[in-house]
Amino acid sequence: MSGKDHIAVRFRAYPTEEQARQVNRTIGCVRFVYNLMLETRIAHYQTTWESCYPTPALYKDTYPFLREVDSFALCNAQLALEKAYKRFFEDRKTGFPKYKSKRRGRKTYTTNLSHGNIELDDKARRLKLPKLGWLAVRQHKRIPDDWKLKSVTVEHCPSGRYTATILFEYETQIPEKVRPVKTVGLDYASHGLYVSSDGEHAEYPGYYRKMQDKLAREQRKLSHMVKGSANWRKQCKRVARLYEKTANQRRDYQHKKANRIVASYDMVGVEALSMKSMMKKPGTKPDPERQGHYLPNGRKARKGLAKSTSDNGYGMFCTMLEYKLARQGKRLIRVDRWFPSSQLCHDCGYRNPQTKDLDVREWTCPQCGVMHDRDVNAARNIRDEAMRIIE
């Protein structure tokens, strides 16, 4: 059996001054047309009680500058708005679609392949985009010949850098389901990444932690500066650059760890974590990327946002593991977060309420006398619970 799969590859892009202006103009127009369409829909609904579906073409006569940017990007704004409405109708908790602000949100636009308007020149390390021409990119990965280019998302990052994320589609064989023989459980470790049921303590490398400390320091500096001043602006850029760097380092490390796990095991059990339980873990250093709650664009994060993003590290790692495993017909099992993984003695099943105290790093089972490392014992329980679920 075969199917289709997608993969996104991100390249650093080096636009000329003129190209950078065009990228920013396009991002601006996408936001502008998104807001116009939203306005039209709201006004139409208020007068007729009916929905309408405006297209970007509707505004091109009034605002001729919309003709100067990539029309696929504008079409994607229409799709994005339709998606926002759909999400709102399906789940009222998401809230009504909002106007896009110049300052908030990521600065991106997406364009699609149509009749050869996009080309990736493998040797010259450049990418042809509509209305932009050839854009220099740093290609770190050879693209297999059978990957089909679908779309490109151009981003102007808060650090001032540009990136192009290319989405490819490729044919894939749906893998045979693997019967789990080699299994592992992972216990989330706030100071590192995880502790495995086989006793592996996966810690982020030293250079990453150093970079995190540096980022926290620079963020603290930023919070003491006069908002809007020249120094403040300079510091924003510095924070954004460090922020992107730590994010890249973290992703890199997680990929390596995930690849190794997928190569050695057939089934991986993890805890389905809630934010709260993570905050309570011992030795929790607040994630410096969220510390002080400054976003890379120098704005103070809203409380809810800072919270919802701070579990990203481990959550992203689990998602990564899940799709890497799936490609080989293997499975990731999420164990209920109320499962008392750290309280149960793995050897005899005795439930030791004393381990609720998070400072207890090692303990001896009062029933069977076995000595436990808190995290390894928890990881073993997670592994067995995952196996119970799978069978």
Q: Which stretch binds Zn ion (CB under 5 A): 144-152, 267-275, 292-300, 342-350?
A: 342-350
**Tokens 């400072």, residue located:** 359
115: amino acid identity, one letter:
H
Minimum CB–partner distance for residue 156 and Zn ion (Å): 57
Two structure tokens written together for 165: 């994320």
Q: Which is nearer to Zn ion, 105 or 349 (CB)?
A: 349
Name residue 207's amino acid. Answer: Y
Contacts of 242 (CB under 8 A, 6+ apart): 211, 214, 215, 218
Least distance from Zn ion to the Cβ atom of residue 368, Å: 3
Site string for Zn ion, 297-336 (x = CB under 5 A): ----------------------------------------
User: From residue 347 to residue 376, what is the string marking binding to Zn ion with x (rule CB under 5 A)?
Assistant: xx-x--------------x-xx--------
The residues that bridge with 149 in the sheet, in sequence order, are 168
Which helix (H) or strand (E) is 362 found in, with range?
strand 362-364
Q: Which is nearer to Zn ion, 108 or 377 (CB)?
A: 377
CB of 391 to Zn ion, least distance (A): 23
> Which of 344, 345, 382, 386 is in the footprint of Zn ion by CB under 5 A?
345
Q: Please identify, using beta-carbon distances, which residue of 267 and 345 lies nearer to Zn ion.
A: 345
In the complex with Zn ion, the residue whose CB is nearer, 13 or 345, is 345
Nearest distance in Å: CB 357, Zn ion: 18
Amino acid identity for residue 71 in this structure:
S
Which residues are part of the catalytic machinery?
187, 271, 375
Q: Cα separation of 38 and 31, whole Å?
A: 11
Question: 257-295: string of b/e by CB count within 10 Å (b at 16+)?
Answer: bbeebbeebbbbbbbebeeeebeebeeeeebbbbbbbbb
**Residues contributing to the site for Zn ion (CB under 5 A):** 345, 347-348, 350, 365, 367-368
